[in-house]
Chain A
Amino acid sequence: MNTFPYYPVNDLGPLMKGMVIGGLGIFHVFIAQLAIGGGMLMCYLQWLHSKGRCPNGRRFIDDYFRVLVLVSFVTGAVTGVGMWFTTIQISPRTIGVMIREFHWLWAIEWTFFSLEVVSGYLFYRYGRQLSDRLRLRLLLLYSTAAWFSLFWINGILSWQLTPGGWLENHGVWAGFFNPSFWPSLFFRTVCALAEAALSACVLINAVREFSRDEQSDLISVCARPLGAMVLMPFLGLWYFASIPADSRGWITGGSAAMTLFLTLSVSMSTFIGAYAVFAMLRQKLYVNGATATLLLGLAFLASAGGEFVREGVRKPFTIREYLYSNSLTPDDVAEMRRTGCTTNDPYPLRLSKPMPNKQLELGAHVFRIQCSICHTLDGANAVVDLTSTWSPDQKRLNIAQLQRTKPFMPPFAGTPEELEALVQLVTWVHAGRPAEWPESRDTEVLTQIQQWLDAAGTEPGTRSIRAQSPAH
C-alpha cells in the first residue's frame, strides 16, 4: 500500500526552491556562527581584562556585545524559526522525519538556546553593573550554551548526509554521532571563531571613541582566534574522508557547480587564513575597516559556498539512503512505478491558463510531484533548459533511466504513461507552448518506456557508483 503523504505543493515562480531555503540557511548559519564565536571572544576579552592584560577589553565588550546581542537574538532567533517554517514549505516530509527521529535532541537544544538567551540578555542589560567575576561567568554560560546549540543541531544536520548506523537500527545516538559529526562540529567551531574575530576587527574600526593605538591593541587581541584557521585544511580533509564516496565524487569534478563552489570556498578560506596568520598574527599589521570588511565579506562567501556544497553532496537524497530529494522513499518509487505518482494526490492542478490536452496536464502534475522541489519548468535550474538538446526519444530514455543519466538524480517514480506525459510537457514548452498539441498514445512508445524503466530498476544511481568503485 502506498503511504506517501501528499502535501500541497507551492510554485515559487522562476525561483528554485533550493535557492530560497539555501539563501535563508546560509544567512542563518553565518549569523548563528557569529553569535557562537562572538561569545567565545567575549569570554577571552573579559578574562584578559580581569587579568589586566587588555585594558580596553571591558569597554569594548560593552559596546561590541550590544551589537552582537541584537544581531544574534533578533536575526538569529527569527531566522532560526524561519528555517523551520521554510523547510516545511519546501520539504515537509524531510522535516517531519527529522522531527520524528530527533525531537528529544531538538528539545535539548532548546534548553541550551533558552540558557543562551537568558544569560546573554542578563549580561546585555546588567553587564555594566556587574563585577568582572560575574561577567565572566555569565559570558562563559552564554558561549557554552551557544556552542552546545551548535553541537546538537550539527548532529542532526550531519546525519542527513551520513546517517551511519541509524540506517540499520534507527537508533537516535547511532544517527547523531554519525561519521561526519565530529569533523563537521570542529570545522564549524573554527568558522565561528574566525567570523567573530573578523567581525570584531570591523567593529573596532567603527568605534570612534578608541584612539588608533587602542584600536591596534584590540585588533591584535581579537585577531588571535583567527590562528585556529590553520586547522581548517586538516578538518576539511577529515570531513572529506567521512562523507560517502559518491558525494566526494560530486565535489571533485562529478558536478561542475559543486566543484566550482568548493573551489571558491577553499580559495577564499585559504586567502583569509594566510592573511590572518602571516599579516595579522606574525607581522601584527594593522587591519583597517575596509580590509576587515572585505575579509568578513569573503568569509561570508566562503561559508555560503561551503553550505551550498554541504547541501549539494547529499544528492540524490535529502536523508541519505532513506529519503530522496523529492521526498520519496525508495519504497515509494517502487510503489509508484506500479500505481502512478499522481493517482492518489488529492490536490488539483493549479493552472494559470488551460493546457491543450489532458496529457500535458498530467505531465504538469508529474512535474509538480517529482521535479519541482529542485527544478523549475523554465526558470532557475529549468528542466526545459537542461533537456533542450534532447530528442523526444532521448528524453524518454534519459528520464526513464534518470539515476543512470545523472547519478545525483533520483530514479523516476511513475508509470510509463506519466513519464510520457512529462516528456510531452517538456517538448511542448520547447515548441513554444502552441495552442494545439496532439496527445501521444503510441503503445509501442509506452512499451519501450516500460522496458527502460525495468532495466534501470528502482535503486538509486549512487549504488551503481559504489558497486563500480575498487573498494566494493
Chain B
Amino acid sequence: MSAPFPFGFPLATAGYLSLYVITLLIHVAFMNYVLAGSSYMLLTSFNRRPSEATALWRKLLIDWLPFATGLAITAGVAPLLFIQILYQTPFYSANLLLSHRWMLILPVLLMCFYLLYLQKSKWLAARNGLWRIPVVLLIFLGFGFIAFSWTENHLLSLDQPAWASFYGQGRLFYQSALLPSRLAMWFIGAFTTFACLLMWQVKWTPGLADKVTPAAWRQLGSLALAGLTLAGIAAVIHLATIPATTRAHVLGWVGGPWLAIAVAGAMLQTTGWLHVIRHATPSALARTLITTGCIATIAGMAVVREVMRLSSVDLPILEAQHREAMNSGGFIIFLLFFAANAATITWCSVQVRRAIMIAPQT
C-alpha cells in the first residue's frame, strides 16, 4: 500500500476494488437520494402550511422516492456481489455475528418500500397529518435503521479480534466509538447528493423547471451547503478517531490523493451552490461545478473508506482469493452484455422522454 489506490495492488485485487468502488458510487447516489429524501419528508412534515418551495420538493419526492428506492436496491446488487469476492470472510462473518438483528433490514426495507407507495396513494393524501406523519416517520426510521445496520456491519467486519467474544456473548449490537461519526458523515453527506440529483431532475423533467421558484432553489442550495458543512465536520472527527496506523494510510500515498479529490469536490460543490443561492437558479456553470464536485466527493470518500478497510484486513490471504476468483470465466461476455444493456436502457429512456414531451400529460 505505497501507491495511490488502486495502483500498488495486484491486478486481480485492483480490478475488483475498482469495480466495487464504481458500482458502489452508483448505489450511493440513489441511496443518498432515498436517505436524504425521506429525512426531508420527515423534517418538513410537521409544518402545517409549508412554503411553496417545500411543497414543490415534497411533491416531487413523494412521486419519485419509490422508484429511487427500487434503483438503489437494483444498483446495490452489483457492489454486494463484488464485496463478496473482495472481503468474503470478514463480510460473511459480520453478517453472521449480527444474525437476526442484521436480517431485520430485509423486512424493514420491504415495509419502507410499501410505505413509500402508500405515501404516494390518493388515500393517504386525503388524510390529515395524524395519518401522514406516522407513515413518514416510519419510513425515516426504517431507512435510518438500515443505514445504522450497514455502518455497524462494516465496522464489525473490520474488528476481527472481537468476533469470537462477540459471538460467545451472544451480543446483538456492536458498539464502536467510530460508529457515530461514520454514520453522521455518510448520512448528512447524503443531502449534497440529494440536492444535486434534484437539480438534474428539475432539468430533465419536462415542464418542471418553470415551476421551481427562486426560493426553492435557495432552499435546495442551503440544504446542500448545510449537508456539506456538517458532513465535513463529521469526517474530520472520524478521521481524528480512527487508529493512527489507519490514518497514516488514509493520509499517505494510497489514500491521500483521493482524500484531496474528495475535499476538492466539496469545494467545487460549495462554489456551485453559492452561485445557485446568489442567482436563485442553477446556471450551466453551477450545474457543472456541483455535479463534478459531487462525483469527486463521493468517489474520493468511497476510496478513503476502502483504504481504511484494506489497512485492517489480511491482504496476502485476500489477494490470493482474488487471484483465484479472477481465473473464473465470463468477464468478456459480461462486458458485452453490460454495454448492450446499458445502451438499451439509455435507448428506452430517450424514447420515452421524447414520447412524453410530444404527448399531452394524462
- A residues in contact (CB < 8 Å) with B: 5, 7-10, 70, 73-75, 77-82, 84-86, 88-89, 92, 95-96, 99-108, 110-115, 117-119, 121-122, 125-126, 128-131, 134, 137-138, 141, 145, 170-173, 346-348, 350
- B76-92: which residues lie under 8 A (CB-CB) from chain A? 76-78, 80-82, 84-85, 88-89, 92
Closest to B95 in A: A88
Q: Is the CB of A100 within 8 A of B324?
A: yes
Extra contacts besides A103-B328, A107-B330, A107-B338 (6): CB < 8 Å:
A8-B167, A88-B95, A117-B71, A126-B355, A129-B361, A171-B329
Q: Is the CB of A8 within 8 A of B73?
A: no
- Residue numbers in A under 8 Å from B93 (CB-CB): 7-8
Q: Report the Cα distance A80→B163, complex, angstroms.
A: 28
Q: Report the Cα distance A75→B110, complex, angstroms.
A: 7
Closest to A120 in B: B70
Q: Beyond A78-B109, A348-B168, is A173–B341 a contact (Cβ under 8 Å)?
A: no
CB distance from B225 to the nearest CB of A (A): 32
Q: Is the CB of A103 within 8 A of B342?
A: no
28 contacts between A and B (CB under 8 A): A7-B89, A7-B92, A77-B74, A81-B73, A81-B76, A81-B80, A82-B106, A85-B95, A85-B102, A99-B81, A100-B88, A107-B334, A108-B330, A111-B341, A112-B337, A113-B77, A115-B345, A118-B348, A121-B70, A122-B349, A129-B360, A130-B352, A172-B329, A173-B330, A347-B164, A348-B167, A350-B167, A350-B170
Q: Report the Cα distance A88→B327, complex, angstroms.
A: 23
Q: Is the CB of B328 within 8 A of A110?
A: no
Q: Is B123 an interface residue (CB 8 A)?
A: no
Q: Report the Cα distance A290→B80, complex, angstroms.
A: 42
- Residue numbers in B under 8 Å from A77 (CB-CB): 70, 73-74
CB distance from A99 to the nearest CB of B (A): 5
- Residue numbers in A under 8 Å from B341 (CB-CB): 111-112, 114-115, 145
CB distance from B215 to the nearest CB of A (A): 28
- Residue numbers in B under 8 Å from A138 (CB-CB): 348, 352
Task: Tell me whether chain B's interface is mostly helix, strand or loop, or mixed.
Answer: helix
Q: Is the CB of B352 within 8 A of A111?
A: no
Chain A to chain B: the 6 pairs with minimum beta-carbon distance, closest first: A104-B330, A172-B329, A348-B168, A111-B341, A92-B92, A129-B359
CB < 8 Å neighbour of B348 from A102, A108, A119: A119
Q: Report the Cα distance A80→B109, complex, angstroms.
A: 12
Q: Report the Cα distance A99→B324, complex, angstroms.
A: 12
CB < 8 Å neighbour of B92 from A78, A88, A105: A88
Closest to B347 in A: A141
Q: Is the CB of B168 within 8 A of A129?
A: no
Q: Is the CB of B85 within 8 A of A99?
A: yes
- Residue numbers in B under 8 Å from A134 (CB-CB): 351-352, 355
Q: Is the CB of B168 within 8 A of A110?
A: no
Q: Is the CB of A5 within 8 A of B84?
A: no
- Residue numbers in B under 8 Å from A82 (CB-CB): 106
Q: Is the CB of A117 within 8 A of B74?
A: yes
Q: Report the Cα distance A119→B80, complex, angstroms.
A: 23
- Residue numbers in B under 8 Å from A171 (CB-CB): 329
Q: Is the CB of B328 within 8 A of A101?
A: yes
- Residue numbers in B under 8 Å from A75 (CB-CB): 110
Q: Is the CB of A126 within 8 A of B352?
A: yes
- Residue numbers in B under 8 Å from A73 (CB-CB): 70
Q: Is B268 an interface residue (CB 8 A)?
A: no
CB distance from B317 to the nearest CB of A (A): 11
Query: Among the interface residues B81, B106, B327, B330, which one has the most CB atoms of the partner chain A within 10 A?
Result: B330
Q: Is the CB of A108 within 8 A of B96?
A: no
Closest to A130 in B: B355
Q: Report the Cα distance A266→B225, complex, angstroms.
A: 63
Q: Is the CB of B168 within 8 A of A130?
A: no
Q: Is the CB of B345 within 8 A of A100?
A: no
Q: Is the CB of A108 within 8 A of B333?
A: yes
Q: Is the CB of A96 within 8 A of B92?
A: yes
Q: Report the Cα distance A382→B89, complex, angstroms.
A: 30
Q: Is the CB of A129 within 8 A of B164?
A: no
- B296-347: which residues lie under 8 A (CB-CB) from chain A? 321, 324-325, 327-331, 333-334, 337-338, 340-342, 344-345
- Residue numbers in A under 8 Å from B253 (CB-CB): none
CB distance from B108 to the nearest CB of A (A): 10
Closest to A129 in B: B359
Q: Is the CB of B355 within 8 A of A173?
A: no
CB < 8 Å neighbour of A107 from B78, B163, B168, B345: B78
- Residue numbers in B under 8 Å from A141 (CB-CB): 344, 348
- Residue numbers in A under 8 Å from B356 (CB-CB): 126, 129-130
- Residue numbers in A under 8 Å from B85 (CB-CB): 99-100, 103
- Residue numbers in B under 8 Å from A79 (CB-CB): 106
Q: Report the Cα distance A347→B355, complex, angstroms.
A: 60
Closest to A346 in B: B164
Q: Is the CB of A104 within 8 A of B78?
A: no
CB distance from B34 to the nearest CB of A (A): 13
Closest to A92 in B: B92
Q: Is the CB of B328 within 8 A of A5?
A: no
- Residue numbers in A under 8 Å from B344 (CB-CB): 115, 119, 141
Q: Is the CB of B84 within 8 A of A85?
A: no
- Residue numbers in A under 8 Å from B74 (CB-CB): 77, 110, 113-114, 117
Q: Is B114 an interface residue (CB 8 A)?
A: yes
Closest to B64 in A: A125
- Residue numbers in A under 8 Å from B100 (CB-CB): 10
Q: Report the Cα distance A364→B290, complex, angstroms.
A: 59
Mark B100-112 against chain A: 1 for CB-CB distance below 8 A, else 0. 1011001001100
Q: Beyond A74-B110, A113-B74, A350-B170, is A10–B99 a contact (Cβ under 8 Å)?
A: yes
Q: Is the CB of B113 within 8 A of A78?
A: yes
Q: Is B362 an interface residue (CB 8 A)?
A: yes
Q: Is B131 an interface residue (CB 8 A)?
A: no
CB distance from A1 to the nearest CB of B (A): 13
Closest to A131 in B: B355
- Residue numbers in A under 8 Å from B330 (CB-CB): 102-105, 107-108, 172-173
